[in-house]
Structure 1
Amino acid sequence: MTFSIAAHQDGRFGIAVSSSSPAVAARVVHLRDRVGAVASQNITDPRLGTALLDRLAAGEGAREALDSVVGGEPNAAYRQLTVVDASGAAAAFSGGHTLGVHGEATGPHCAAAGNMLADPGVPAAMCAAFGETGGELEERLLAALAAGLAAGGEAGPVYSAGLSTVSANGWRDTDLRVDWQEDPVGALGGLLGVWLPQRDDYVRRGLDPAAAPGYGVPGDDR
């Protein structure tokens, strides 16, 4: 019921995801500054995202961390996981009880996976689109998500989507979510078009408020 991509670009990490389930990004997305990106999905256990990031932080690479967590997880057969580490190495896992038509793929600096898909090639289409798209990490993630949808996406309609990134500032500098809409990926693109030109201003407000630009709204005297 979910397809997603985790990726790395220039020290930044991000994930884009869509699903027929509500609030999918709240469960799937796991990011940590300077460490990596992990997507935990299918019959989701969000705790596995933290466990994988902890292993990456301890110095394990994507494949080693994934194998370690899967090997110690009694319900691994129900889980689908992707990992991208700080070097850009990627790994993916789909347990034997992954739902419906499913698949996973890795590429340079990215890993994608999906379940209950219309076509098992959806993750590969996402990785290909990420590699072929230029621009900001957010733009590349959105292009990958749209490519997954165009390749068939889920077997049924999707209703939620999310896109999040970290950039070693101590918080998610992009964290956009769309829940229970008929075209969540399209709506996510609209949100990103509003957010991306303002993203760096909001980061500056957090890091150096005295030098930050004003908001340009009534009551802002700067």
Structure 2
Amino acid sequence: MTFSIVARSADGKALGVAVASKFLGVGAAVPAALAEVGAVATQSYANLAYRPQALALLGTGVAATETVRALIAGDAGPVEHRQVGVVGPEGPGATFTGEQCHDWAGGAAGDGYAIQGNMLAGPDVVGDMEKAWLAGADHTRLAYRLLAALRAGDLAGGDRRGRQSAALLVVAKGMGYGGTSDVWVDLRVDDHPDPVAELGRLLEMHSLYFEFPDPATLLPLTGELADEVAALLAAAGHTGPDLDESLASWAGVANLEMRIVAGSIDPLVLAELRSSGGAAG
């Protein structure tokens, strides 16, 4: 009924889950992750207790493979219908598919990832997801690599019943809003005719609004550029003796405060300022 990938970034700092299903609000049931501990996806007659149980085991140093074994061994319910994937802060991921999961059902796992799905169009869903994951080794942002793998599964047929929801959860120490949270990305498409595509659109928006700017791309706020920015800000009613303060005030209204760096301007902020003519609200 669902296909997912649970994985760790190449540098080991981020952990996450991407999932899609013909199921309402799949993001509320399947994924869980904890920074520097691990990530888990529970599906196919999902046992939601697997989420805290898996993270608790991983948090004590139990490897992903042993964690999956412990989850299945301790489950008093219909394990033959269960499916689960787990990844820890190091080592290979692990996946389990009960022998009575609806066809086609199966999974694949390797260093830092586990992919699983049930009631799929065929084995190519998992196979193409794995190929996409392995081909994305150069991705520096885990969320985009996970999404690429999920999209590959969707294009291969995904859930054979159709499309409805998708979700993306990524955690990393201090990478949440304002550096005050470890939840880097938490996006859900609960009911949509093309949920994976919609998830991609939301991720692009999330990157704009909630990621820190790339220091290498920052433009010095001096000379003609400073004059242009000041004029645009004035048109929006954000004026004052300090250009940095005026820009920060505008950015707060435009929800771009994460991208403000004193003395400079992020090209993405500049593009938004120019496109809006200085308007915000």
TM-score, scaled to structure 2:
0.71
Aligned residues: 212
Q: Quick one: distance in 2 between partners of 1:138 and 1:219? A: 21
Specify the alignment match of 1:14 in structure 2: 16
Q: 1:74 aligns with which of 70, 73, 76?
A: 76
> Percent of counterpart pairs with the same letter?
36
- Provide the C-alpha distance between the structure 2 equivalents of 1:35 and 1:123, rounded to a whole number of angstroms: 25
Aligned counterparts, 1:1-222, within 5 A:
1-9=1-9, 10=11, 11-75=13-77, 76-133=79-136, 134-135=138-139, 136-169=141-174, 170-201=181-212, 215-217=251-253
After superposition, what is the alpha-carbon deviation per residue over 1:105-163, rounded to whole angstroms, capped at 9, x for unaligned?
11331111001100023122212211112321011011000100112211121110011
Structure 1 residues 138, 88: CA separation in 2 closer, same or farther (over 3 Å shift)?
A: farther
How many Å separate the matches in 2 of 1:77 and 1:220? 48
Name the CA shift for 1:158/1:59 in 2 (closer, same or farther; >3 Å). same
Return 5+ residue gaps in structure 2 as ranges.
175-180, 214-247, 261-281
- CA distances 1:13-70 after superposition (whole Å, capped 9, x unpaired): 0111000001101100010111101000010111111111111111110101111121
Classify the secondary structure of the residue corresponding to 2:211: helix
Answer 1 or 2: higher relative contact order, Cα 8 Å, separation at least 6: 1
- C-alpha spacing 1:28/1:219, structure 2 compared with 1 (3 Å): closer
Secondary structure of the structure 2 residue equivalent to 1:81: strand
Cα RMSD for the two superposed structures: 2.1
SS in 2 for 1:147: helix
Match of 1:208 in 2: none
Q: Amino acid of the residue matched to residue 155 of structure 1?
A: R
Name the structure 2 match of 1:210: none
Secondary structure (helix, strand or coil) at the match of 1:157 reads coil
Structure with the higher strand share, 1 or 2: 1
TM-score by length of 1: 0.89
**Letter paired with 2:84:** L
Q: Distance in 2 between matches of 1:148 and 1:107?
A: 17
| Cα contact 2:20–2:196 (8 A) shared by 1 | yes
Residue 197 of structure 1, CA deviation? 2.8
Instruction: Please give the secondary structure, in 2, of the residue aligned with 1:98.
Output: coil
Paired with 1:98 and 1:24, the residues of 2 have a C-alpha distance of 18
The secondary structure found in structure 1 opposite 2:201 is helix
